[in-house]
Amino acid sequence: MNKLVLVGIVFVTLLLGATFLMLGDGVGANDTMLQLGIAGAVAIAVISTFVSIKYIRQMQTDTASGELADENWDGIGEYKNEPPFGWAISFLALTIWAIWYMLAGYPVQSYSQIGEYNEEVAEHDKTFAATHANMDAATKVEMGESVFIVQCAPCHGLSADGIDGKAANLNKRLDAVAVKNAIIHGSNNHLLGSEMPMPDRNGLFNANSGALISDAEINAVSAYVSNGMSGSGADVFAGTCAGCHGSDGKGMAGVAPSIANYNPELVSNILAYGKKGAMGTMPSFNNLNKTQIEALGAYVTSLSSK
């Protein structure tokens, strides 16, 4: 017997032996899906091993032949040979198997543990929402603090101060670094719940001077916004930013978000889409239900309004 074939047989035997050893008593279980999985594992192991052996032997003995294509890359060309017939048969067989598996072997709409879990979570969320439908403002903030401690505090800190620059300080809407980054690079963070991009500095004009915003003006307006819409830089803000963000910085519906303070809608959109800024990228959160998101929005809003 060829040494390569013998190695293949030994390899398949060891692989299948390890598989059956891990499955233990489950091998004989009356479970159609488990049996199909075992059969698939056996087939994949055997076919993969002996197909590999075939082509290894073929590479050792075969020489290329046929008509070369006109194109070549650094002197390396390819032949116009048809794909091997066995490849076409394998592709067709796998396609038929996949269709059968999806429609009959394990139909898309059939029972699954994941599906059952998702249904239970959805039902629990409905009950949870109904139970807390009439929360007063204080209770909503209290619930939001609990959600914050679990979901947000690992990055933003228990006091929401950003843990020395590891994440945004949520006790204030924006710091000067974040404002400057947004002005220079623009912003497209779905803060209004849809894609409403803010242009970078090359699209920002100061109406007072009629020119593109300068470095000095960027520094001034960044300090103005980070100081809670107060101090020097008010004239730059009025000439460049107020047209979209409003004279008080609290945003305009469908135009621009609030840069003066947080509000529940803004927090909800950041949770839904994530946010990219000077520090990096905050991921989106899809593991909270609507009630929890509203509560978290209320809590974060309460922080920045203190």
Query: What tens digit of pLDDT does each residue of 258-282 get?
Result: 999 999 999 999 999 999 888 889 9
Rounded Cα distance between 107 and 239, Å, is 61
In a domain, 124, yes or no: no
For residues 146 and 12, state if they share a domain.
no
In a domain, 121, yes or no: no
- Is the entire prediction scored with pTM above 0.85? no
In a domain, 144, yes or no: yes
In a domain, 206, yes or no: yes
In a domain, 261, yes or no: yes
**Residue span of the structural domain in which 37 resides:** 3-60+84-105
Domain count, the chain: 2
For residues 151 and 300, state if they share a domain.
yes
Query: What is the model's pLDDT at position 26?
Result: 56
Query: What is the model's pLDDT at position 120?
Result: 92
For residues 147 and 21, state if they share a domain.
no
In a domain, 179, yes or no: yes
For residues 179 and 93, state if they share a domain.
no
For residues 167 and 279, state if they share a domain.
yes
In a domain, 295, yes or no: yes
For residues 283 and 183, state if they share a domain.
yes
Query: What is the model's pLDDT at position 31?
Result: 63
For residues 148 and 296, state if they share a domain.
yes
Query: What is the model's pLDDT at position 24?
Result: 63
For residues 181 and 294, state if they share a domain.
yes
For residues 152 and 288, state if they share a domain.
yes
For residues 195 and 263, state if they share a domain.
yes
Query: What is the model's pLDDT at position 222?
Result: 96
Query: What is the model's pLDDT at position 78?
Result: 87
In a domain, 189, yes or no: yes
Residue ranges of the chain with pLDDT lower than 50?
none
For residues 142 and 219, state if they share a domain.
yes
For residues 183 and 280, state if they share a domain.
yes
